Amino acid sequence: MKTQKFKTNIACGNCLAKVTPILNAEPKIESWSVDLQSDDRILTVESDEITADEVFKTVLKAGFIAKPE
C-alpha cells in the first residue's frame, strides 16, 4: 500500500464533513484521514492506484486544495 500526504485547507469539522463523502466515493482510495491538529491540515491517503493529481482533483470537487507534501 502506498501512502501519500498532502497539505490541505480543510480547516474544521464542517470542512471535513464536506470532503468526506467525496473521498469515500473514490474507489481507488483504500483509506484516508485528515489531521486537523496540524498547521498544514495533512491529508493522508492509502492507495496503490490513485495518483497525486487524481487526489488533488477529487479534493477540489469539495472545494478544497490538496498539495503534495
Statement: the pTM of the whole predicted model exceeds 0.85: yes
Pick the CATH number of 2-68 from 3.40.50.300, 1.10.3720.10, 3.30.70.100, 3.20.20.70: 3.30.70.100
Helix, strand, coil shares of the chain as percentages rounded to 5?
30, 30, 40
For 21, how many CA atoms within 13 A lie in the half-sphere containing its CB? 5
Domain extents in the chain: 2-68
For strands 43-47 and 66-68, give the pairing. Answer: unpaired
Per-residue pLDDT of the chain (69 residues; tens, 9 = 90+): 999 999 999 999 999 999 999 999 999 999 999 999 999 999 999 999 999 999 999 999 999 999 999
How far is 43 from 55, CA to CA, in rounded Å?
10
Q: Return phi, psi of residue 8, to 5°.
A: -130, 175
